[in-house]
A and B are shown apart, each in its own frame.
Chain A
Amino acid sequence: MNAAALARSRSAPILLGIATLAAFIALMQVLVETGLLNRFIVPPPSDVALAFERVIMEEHILARFLLTMQECVSCAVLLAVFGISIGTLLHKVNILRLATETWVAAAAAAPTVLMYPLFMVIFGRSATTIVMMGFVAGLPAVILKTIEGLSGTKRVLMNVGMSFKLTPWQMFWKIQFPSALPTIFTGFKLGLIFALINVVGVEFLINFGGLGQLINDLAERYDLAGTYAAICFVILVSVCFFVVVEWFERWLTRAA
């Protein structure tokens, strides 16, 4: 295969990516086995692979996974209800939008996750703190994208609605909201990603809940292989989550 054909090939880059990953894992194994890397700092990848079964069977990973997902679903409901409602309100009341849109954008840039000690004081070391942190982190993205989506409704669609003499309520539900749905979902997706990051992060930091706590627990027990396996599991869950959300977004965009 010449260079041009290689560049055009669909499978060659994917294979290269997988081969690089496999080579990296093999290199780590060799470095640890030969003593060049301390096995008390970096466990051999074979130990990590074996630890997967132990982590899944002994650490109740399914229950932990469901708990983390439950917290994420709670965040998603709060984001959908409050984020879209606030975004719609700001779109409808223009002066309120002009007054607060820059604040919402600033809140999106602020490190809100650092408020977790404050939330622990208010809500205690509980799932409520974790859910509220996820909600606060994802809210600005949903609000901003809802405003953007509703403001971007095509003039021609609005004219069609007016020609049918739709009431403002009908105009919103039949024209503006369906037209804005793909953009709103993009915001919802971003909000959900921020929420997931914060949920797992705060679980780890306050040592409470599902997958985040598992990593903290294993690290505190100095179970190195288990810690690495749990981190790999969380990465896998995150990646699957993003793939599913992205797939759903593409489907929604096509349907709209």
Chain B
Amino acid sequence: MADAGRLTQATGMRTPAIGPVTLVRLAIIAAILVGWEALAQSGLLYRDVVPSLLAIGKAIVGLLTDPDYYWHLGVTAYEVGAALLIGGISAIVVGLILGGNKFLSRAYEPYLYYLGPTPKIIFFPIMIMWFGVGPPSKIALGVLSCFFPIALSVAAGMRQIEPVLIRVGKSFRANSWQMATKIYLPAMRHPIINGIRLGLGVGLIGTLLAETKLSNRGIGFLIIQAYSLFDMPRMYAMLIVLFMLAIGANALIGRLGGLDQIKRF
């Protein structure tokens, strides 16, 4: 009876519709928006440096309904996709070789490790000379940017494969190709996905920065064009939409990595 009473009491309790964390989040967002609008209306900063929320909202709507924007988005997506494909495949191959051979790893991995965090945009003048001013130079910079994190992640992942899996492959007399496709790659899905996630971020940055430096197409070009025309609401709108897309793409690849884990068990 006592249990039944407790049960009735428990089911009678109402959990609040909005939790305290959500409330704090809403409060922070509201404070930022109110502060922003107050700053925009105050005239403390130069005109249009901090445009009103209404102007930014209108610019976002204008941007999302502009067919030209999608064409430029398509150009950037093509460049980033091509960079990730070329850089990703070559990085996976290099990572597999270095991860599978201690001697080669000790010979070449320090170069990757120390070259990885250097600012890749400084190679852009070379890329222009090699590949011209069109999309290929942006793709090349994207390739250069995403190669290092993916290669290092794959090499580290390869070293973490359980030796028993490799022994199973060898006991079945699997050849190199079979070992790579049946043992190494499936066992390294997580490091590869994490590497691709990192590679996507830096590849995107490399490509977009190259577009801002010298291009007549792509999102980077649109951002620098908005700067040149001092169209601040449009610039804010583009940055907001771009950040949402980048964070969304990153989360999507992360989710794919999570799904793999679910399937595995």
Contact = CB atoms under 8 A, between A and B. Distances in A.
Contacts, number: 133
A36 interface: no
B143 interface: no
Interface in A165-212: 193, 196-198, 200-201, 204-205, 212
Interface stretch (B53-61, B104-112, B187-195, B256-264): B104-112
Given A109-B250, A111-B242, A239 B118 contact: yes
Q: Which of B125, B126, B130, B247 has the most CB of A within 10 A?
A: B125
A114 B220 contact: yes
A41 interface: yes
Interface stretch (A55-63, A94-102, A139-147): A94-102
B122 A13 contact: no
A229 to B, nearest CB: 12
B83 interface: no
Interface residues of A, number: 52
A41 B230 CA distance: 36
Interface string A17-31: 100110000000000
Interface in B17-64: 20-21, 24-25, 28, 45, 49
A210 B239 CA distance: 27
Contact of B122 (A113, A120, A200): A200
Contacts of B239: 114-115, 118
Nearest to B45: A122
Interface stretch (B7-15, B165-173, B178-186, B202-210): B202-210
Interface residues of B, number: 52
A227 B129 CA distance: 11
A113 B220 CA distance: 11
A219 B107 contact: no
Given A98-B21, A99-B28, A111-B205, A118 B118 contact: no
Contact of B119 (A14, A96, A212): A212
Contact of B235 (A7, A118, A218): A118
A200 B117 CA distance: 12
B205 A114 contact: yes
A114 B125 contact: no
A236 B44 CA distance: 44
A17 B227 contact: no
A16 B205 CA distance: 33
B114 interface: yes
A6 B104 CA distance: 11
A89 interface: no
23 contacts: A7-B103, A17-B107, A17-B111, A20-B108, A21-B111, A109-B201, A114-B220, A114-B223, A115-B239, A117-B223, A117-B224, A120-B227, A121-B227, A193-B117, A196-B117, A204-B213, A215-B125, A227-B126, A231-B122, A234-B118, A234-B122, A235-B115, A243-B114
